[in-house]
Amino acid sequence: MYGYLWLFGLIFPYVGGVRASRLSACMVERAYRELEAVGYSRTTLRTLHLILDKAFREQVGRSLGAHKPRESDDERPVWTIAEAQRFGDYVRGDRLYPMWRLLMVAGLRRGELCGVRYGDLDWSQGALKVRRQIVVEDPGSRVRVKPPKSPNGFRTLILDEDTLEGLTGRATSGRASRYLFTGRTGRHLRPDNVTGRFNQIAAAAGVRPLGPHQIRHLIASNLLDAGFGIHEVAERLGHDPATLMRYYTRVSATRRLQATNHIADLLTSPTDQLA
């Protein structure tokens, strides 16, 4: 509800005084352009368009007719593998190292990371069940425990031995909370604080402070480059495969060249090869 209200609040100064029956596509598109000019991203504007168009259809019974804002021309910055390794080496002495390790190998959303409880770990199978997330819900900075972002967010991840060993160490060190990762007061972590701490550590490690969400893009691109299937990667990240391909992948120059050479080799006849 807060998210919808916030998005509608962006466009209300532009079209809020216009009757729905007199609202035109030109008015809405002009508002999109002005909002982009003052700094709102096209991703935000595309989300705004989806809910505005739906609300208009329900109210008026026809399509708004406005063109959806174009996708961003900017490529999301993502760490290189070398940067990820440097961060991992630097953070080994951090109190929350098992959490950072889990983030790096599992690609959990920051809210999912904060919401992990001891009961979500299946020690015998070496698996983690993702069942909830913690979100900051309004300007008052209150937090709520909610289900994952989508039905695909409910998933079970098999963990590697090193990651599982770090989590086992936390489980056997005594606990005052049902949450696996807590602050020094014993309360579960806040997603916004996780982002802030992540960027502080990244800067200290000498890598770009891009926030924890870009790790998901790093994992998706590198797993796909390594030959893992779209559905395998989407399951790991808790995404729909179509969404994964649209937002979480990037094609490297090396892969482009490999694809070019591969199809060229397939289509080159034996006679041409001899020549």
Q: Report pLDDT for 185.
A: 84
> Element (H or E) spanning 156, and its range?
strand 155-158
Specify if 261 maps to a domain. no
Same domain, 42 and 140: no
State the CATH number of the domain containing residue 154: 1.10.443.10
Give the domain-ending residue among 18, 44, 60: 60
Can you name the residues that pair with 179 across neighbouring β-strands?
117
Specify if 142 maps to a domain. yes
Same domain, 54 and 98: no
Specify if 6 maps to a domain. yes
Same domain, 44 and 98: no
Q: Report pLDDT for 114.
A: 96
Q: What is the pLDDT along the chain (275 residues), one digit of tens a residue?
A: 767 888 888 899 999 999 888 889 999 999 999 998 887 888 889 899 999 999 899 988 888 889 988 877 666 789 999 999 999 999 999 999 999 999 999 999 999 999 999 999 998 899 999 999 998 865 556 888 999 988 899 999 999 999 999 998 776 665 678 999 998 888 899 998 999 999 999 999 999 999 999 999 999 988 988 889 999 999 999 988 887 877 666 656 666 677 778 788 888 766 655 55
**What CA–CA distance (Å, rounded) separates 153 from 52?**
26
Same domain, 208 and 92: yes
Same domain, 148 and 183: yes
CA-CA-CA-CA dihedral for 77, 78, 82, 85, to nearest 10: 130
Same domain, 117 and 40: no
Same domain, 51 and 98: no
141 and 135 Cβ atoms separated by less than 8 Å: no
Same domain, 12 and 112: no
Specify if 67 maps to a domain. no
Q: Report pLDDT for 177.
A: 83
Specify if 242 maps to a domain. no
Give the domain-ending residue among 60, 76, 93: 60
Number of domains in the chain: 2
Helices (H), 16-106: 25-37, 42-60, 81-90, 97-106
**What CA–CA distance (Å, rounded) separates 183 from 189?**
6
Same domain, 47 and 99: no
101 and 162 Cβ atoms separated by less than 8 Å: yes
- Global pTM reads 0.73
78 and 211 Cβ atoms separated by less than 8 Å: no
Same domain, 109 and 184: yes
Same domain, 11 and 91: no
Q: Report pLDDT for 4.
A: 82
State the residue range of the domain holding 192: 85-212
Give the domain-ending residue among 212, 231, 263: 212
Same domain, 107 and 183: yes
Specify if 269 maps to a domain. no
Specify if 198 maps to a domain. yes
Specify if 14 maps to a domain. yes
Q: Report pLDDT for 38.
A: 82
14 and 34 Cβ atoms separated by less than 8 Å: yes
